[in-house]
Amino acid sequence: YAQEQLGDLVFVELPEIGRKLVKGDTAVVVESVKAASDVYAPVDGEITEANGSLSADPSLVNSAATGDGWLWKMKLSNEGQLDSLMDEAAYKAHIG
């Protein structure tokens, strides 16, 4: 949803490997031709991988969000936090 609102991305600032995040921390900054926006960590954890392909081609977030356009991977600090996340169907219902 947010990627559609922002439009085509032109820059993605990825997190450093090993960075520890708390739910709600800014994990990634994305910039489009319209605006810049923060992407927040949905759970607590440590960054284990960042998608370096986005540095060369940020538009992957728009064209392949559920595939090659992933942002980061992390080791969870508290797996119980996953229970509070929405699945795709719940998110679609939430945004209308």
Task: Per-residue pLDDT tens, the chain, 96 aa: give them.
Answer: 677 778 889 999 999 999 999 999 999 999 998 899 999 999 999 999 999 999 999 999 989 988 999 999 999 999 999 999 999 899 989 988
Q: CATH number for 2-95: choose from 3.40.50.1700, 1.10.260.40, 2.40.50.100, 3.30.1330.40.
A: 2.40.50.100
> What separation in angstroms does the CA of 85 have from each of 34, 53, 82?
28, 26, 5
**Degrees (nearest 5) of the Cα angle 43, 18, 2?**
45
What is the pTM assigned to this prediction? 0.87
